[in-house]
Structures are given as structure tokens and as C-alpha cells.
Structure 1
């Protein structure tokens, strides 16, 4: 006698991956919300509301800075930066290119290692808020690059703001 196959009902359309717990589909794009993105532009204005009619709250001048989209409204995205500042940005200023920063909450440095293993050789000690390009994550470790210093290696996923705990990035 064979065992029954049990599954959960999943709210997803054909061709769409199921969403992780706590995520929804954006009402404009159908992409997961929240999700991490990065600044595409060298200069981007964060506004207090989703329109050019709203005042500028902050001007970012760091292309590639990670942002978290928390809401979609037309062509506008409500975003949050690693410091917790939130506001609205025009969607065209954002990219799906994954970047991150070493956790601003860390009291010590985060080791950049040669392999995804706590006993692997430490290449560098990364201080809080160091920017990274995320190549991939397996749910525990992320392979990252630091373009400015021509370095690459592995950092524990929990030490990075720009990926969710357990998230797999390919």
C-alpha cells in the first residue's frame, strides 16, 4: 500500500513560484512584496508620497544601494533603506540587481571567507554598512563581491542586510 501525498494549497498562477510565508504579490507587478532591489540611478529622490507632487524626503547619491520594496502603487514603489528610512521612489530608479550591506546592527566585523564554511580562511574583516554585490545565496551563506576592492568570498547570510533569512538567490 502506498503512502498518500499531502500538500498545502498554494495561491500561485501557472508559471509563478509559490511565495514564502509573509510575502504577497505586488498589485502592480505581481512580484513578491516585500523584496530587495537596488538603486539603478546615481541619484534618486525618495518622496513622502507616490507622486512628483510630494516633497523630497531624501536624495540618495549611491548607485547600487540596496532598498527593500514594501508596497507598489502605479509606477511608484514604497521603499526602505538599511537605516529604516522609508518613502516612495519612482520604479524606473530601481533595479532587480541584488546588492546588500554588512548589517548595521553588528557590533563586530563580519568575516569574508574563501568558502561557505565558518572554518574557512578569512580573506577580510568587513565592517558594518560595507556595500556588497550579491552573486548567490544558499539560505545560510552568500557569495559576494566587493568591486571597489576586487575581492570576492562568502559571508553568513544573517550578517547581510539585503537578503531575507533562508532566502535562496541564484
Structure 2
């Protein structure tokens, strides 16, 4: 499987987990540094707990991450979680009771909402957001790779 031109068969030298891979921000704030150490300058701070991030490299206790806009840097691994989340990329996205275009709408999700990813099939993902659970088209999400099932 390819993501950003990188094969998922590649493994991280530290964790032996696939690279690239999606994770989420565990903390409510996370310093993003220019390089993989505390001596490197902080370029900015991520401020959205549970925000999905893409790990593209590993070095010791540091992970190189990118957000949905492609902005990236190095963060300490303790700021990251394996809990999967996604960002809604379409305003007022229908959250449906079943993975079907004709299923009843449970809620509408606003553009930029962060939701917990439960699982996916080829075209639909089951999400949990703000007490609501349901299915959305996977093409309207950021935080899951093509061919990945999310669990």
C-alpha cells in the first residue's frame, strides 16, 4: 500500500511499526521541533488534543509527524497515542446509522470535527463523535490511508 509515495512495507527503525502510520495527539499541547531533540528550536505548538497526525520518521524517542495540511516537525513520542482519530473534511457531513447512502442520518458533522475512528471498510468508516456513532464516506476524512481498515 502507498501513502504519500511511501510503501507501508517500510518499518520504523525504533518501533518496527509501519511507516508512515497514523496516530493522534495525546496531549492538549505538543511542541513541534525542527529536529529530534530538546535542543532543537520549537517551530510551533499543536493545540488540538486527539488531532490525527501522520508519523513519517522515527529517531530515538522522537517522531516526525505531519498534520492534514502537510505541516510537520518532530515531537516526543510521549505526546502521541495509538488511538485512531480522523478529521472531517466536508462541512455538514452526514453521519448515518448504517454504511449505506439511504440509511437514516444520525447527525451532521461540521468541517474540522475530530472523531474517533472505530473501523472502516472499502468505502465507509464507523466513527464516534460527541456521543454520536455512525458511518460516513471515508473519502470525506483525513487520517486513514487507502486500503487501511482503521482498527
TM-score scaled by length of structure 1? 0.81
CA distance in 2, matches of 1:137, 1:58: 32
TM-align CA RMSD:
1.4
Residue among 116, 124, 131 paired with 2:107: 124
Look at both structures and tell me which one has the larger radius of gyration over its CA atoms. Answer: 1
Aligned runs of 1:31-42 on 2, under 5 Å?
A: 31-42=17-28
User: What's the counterpart of residue 48 of structure 2?
Assistant: 62
User: What's the counterpart of residue 50 of structure 1?
Assistant: 36
Q: CA deviation at 1:83?
A: 2.1
Query: Whose RCO is larger (CA < 8 A, sep 6+)?
Result: 2
CA distance in 2, matches of 1:153, 1:38: 20
User: What's the counterpart of residue 147 of structure 2?
Assistant: 166
* Number of equivalent positions: 146
5+ long unaligned stretches in structure 1: 1-19
1:154 correspondence with 2:135: yes
Q: CA deviation at 1:137?
A: 1.1
TM-score scaled by length of structure 2? 0.90
